[in-house]
Structure 1
């Protein structure tokens, strides 16, 4: 990093970075869970599965919890007593959700996590297994409690508030033997880590890197140990708040450029934007000596102007390869 007394150049140039991609979607926020009787689980057909690669194992590490979702007409004021309009109990947690999606898409996910031998823990395992997630690498504690989250879904503001209770006792690296870790990694094409269980996740990331298996980090917010995990990441998927909080950059485009500067192993970063879709910044591997230079924020604005809000399906708007410039960050060495 440049010393404080050194004046930065007008722009910091980051060679060979490619497209900022802004998918457009008109779908609304999912704020109210449907009644249990109308809930459907969508899975791809056998013919679609046949078209997938033969080796499609994904290993995940992170949170698998029970969610108690209570929908209310409006968020309660202090000392209020209100009634819910609906209540649903289901599995949750970033890793649990991500690997369930992977299973429903026809992949073969394995999950490393920890629950207790209680009704919530058994429910988590049963629900994951019913969707095709391999839970044989879970640690099940005979005592303590499984993690769970109360979620208040506010129909008025279309928001949700999460109140999380961690599992106890927490998972420690010694609970995952080396033989179990190697078995879990056997044949894996991708490792997904959500930033929870960070000490165990770091052991997994180190072994994954030795095997040259790509790692995807789900960066929801700043957490203990997340910086160490990001240093191993091949890909990162972030919440809308994380890049700004982590880089202290003034805008999402400049934050994405900063992340690629600070994390040289990263191939692309995706930021989710709720009903506005998402944006991806990808590092180009192509030699493009004649690429035009462009300011990251200007490129972002030009892509947003191409959005057509009348399109009701997800649509990708991609730029050509640019050498992105940013006046708000320093180079990292």
Structure 2
């Protein structure tokens, strides 16, 4: 990726989870049968797709969201928040009866971890809920599509239509889910949580798992695995093949060599990359590509409030970066900055920055 331009008004379509988060912070996570008081409380929209598209909207994209809620208090709150952030909710199906999705989230002030108790919406979304005319309208003029692996039957219909229209697809693979294997075959980019690559491929290490993913998924251009405070690792497939006569590089050893180049004294996100090479994963195969390490911002403990939705913020920023044709190194640093801003406030959305915010000033230069 190269050659930035401002992607204002670029349309992105997302299909997946929306919901309402009920967040309570506590001094320390309670023991069984223990009664404790929360130190703060917030009710806020949530769901991977709802969060990622809110992030994209604040950065300047024009998101449309395909999902399902019920006509209840939670559902109306979900719609109001998305609309207030500039997300087009006209493709959300509203059931006259049932319950909108919601999640109880306990944020531990001691460990800065969060525990989620999710209640799925009912009735669930089915492909018949999305008419063909509505789907075509949602995809009209779209620059990129986003899937979070939920609502898999409907998401597959959206994905196949996007493929027909040559609309690239970014998928956030949080963990293996029903229908994920069918979805991930047709996408162009993957952002995934730390455990996903090894669980999905059964590879011994993350680098080997990334090689395995690109070999199994010939359409995928890159895979990013997010690692929280440890940043991210990305494997990018390259168009320019290295001659097979060139020496292969063991992917685990290459990652170790990149790790040694990290500078612990730099607090802002940075990116370290290899050259294009033939990357070998023993027992799996070889892929021609480029390996990247992206560091996370070193947030002072007194500024770190809540990590809920940090991965969604990262994915929303990647959507923007793809639309803006950011260079890969710039994309990883940009996404890390956006995720760090989110972590400075309670909930998945409170801290999401806008493109003209001071924390993103260096990316506007």
TM-score under structure 1 length normalisation: 0.82
Task: Give the whole-Å Cα distance in 2 for the aligned partners of 1:68 and 1:135.
Answer: 21
From the CA coordinates, give the structure whose radius of gyration is larger. Answer: 1
RMSD, aligned CA:
1.6
Cα distance, 1:54–1:275 mapped onto 2, change above 3 Å = closer
* Correspondence 1:225-244 to 2 at 5 A: 225-244=179-198
How far did 1:286 drift?
A: 1.1
SS of equivalent to 1:163 = strand
Residues 55 and 187 of structure 1 are in contact (CA less than 8 Å); yes or no, is this contact kept in structure 2? Answer: no
Residues 11 and 144 of structure 2 are in contact (CA less than 8 Å); yes or no, is this contact kept in structure 1? Answer: yes
Residues 280 and 286 of structure 2 are in contact (CA less than 8 Å); yes or no, is this contact kept in structure 1? Answer: no
Q: 1:129 aligns with which of 67, 83, 93?
A: 83
Q: 1:305 aligns with which of 232, 242, 260?
A: 260
2:154 aligned partner: 200
Task: Give the whole-Å Cα distance in 1 for the aligned partners of 2:141 and 2:253.
Answer: 43
> Unaligned regions of 5+ residues in structure 2, if any?
288-365
1:148 aligns with 2:84: no
**Aligned structure 1 segments of 4 or more residues deviating by more than 6 angstroms:** none
Q: Deviations over 1:142-201 (max 9, x none)?
A: 111100000111122221111000000001100100000000000111000001100100
1:18 aligned partner: none
Task: Give the whole-Å Cα distance in 1 for the aligned partners of 2:286 and 2:274.
Answer: 24
> Unaligned regions of 5+ residues in structure 1, if any?
1-50
* Correspondence 1:80-91 to 2 at 5 A: 80-91=34-45
* Correspondence 1:238-253 to 2 at 5 A: 238-253=192-207
Task: Give the whole-Å Cα distance in 2 for the aligned partners of 1:55 and 1:135.
Answer: 16
2:92 aligned partner: 138
Residues 254 and 328 of structure 1 are in contact (CA less than 8 Å); yes or no, is this contact kept in structure 2? Answer: no
Task: Give the structure, 1 or 2, with the largest relative contact order (CA under 8 Å, sep 6 or more).
Answer: 1
Task: Report the structure, 1 or 2, having the larger helix content.
Answer: 2
2:50 aligned partner: 96
Residues 278 and 286 of structure 2 are in contact (CA less than 8 Å); yes or no, is this contact kept in structure 1? Answer: no
SS of equivalent to 1:69 = strand
Residues 114 and 140 of structure 1 are in contact (CA less than 8 Å); yes or no, is this contact kept in structure 2? Answer: yes
Cα distance, 1:285–1:159 mapped onto 2, change above 3 Å = same
Q: 1:119 aligns with which of 43, 58, 73?
A: 73
Paired residues, number: 283
1:165 aligned partner: 119
* Correspondence 1:1-333 to 2 at 5 A: 52-53=6-7, 56-289=10-243, 291-329=246-284
TM-score under structure 2 length normalisation: 0.75
Cα distance, 1:305–1:266 mapped onto 2, change above 3 Å = same
Residues 235 and 268 of structure 1 are in contact (CA less than 8 Å); yes or no, is this contact kept in structure 2? Answer: yes
SS of equivalent to 1:135 = coil
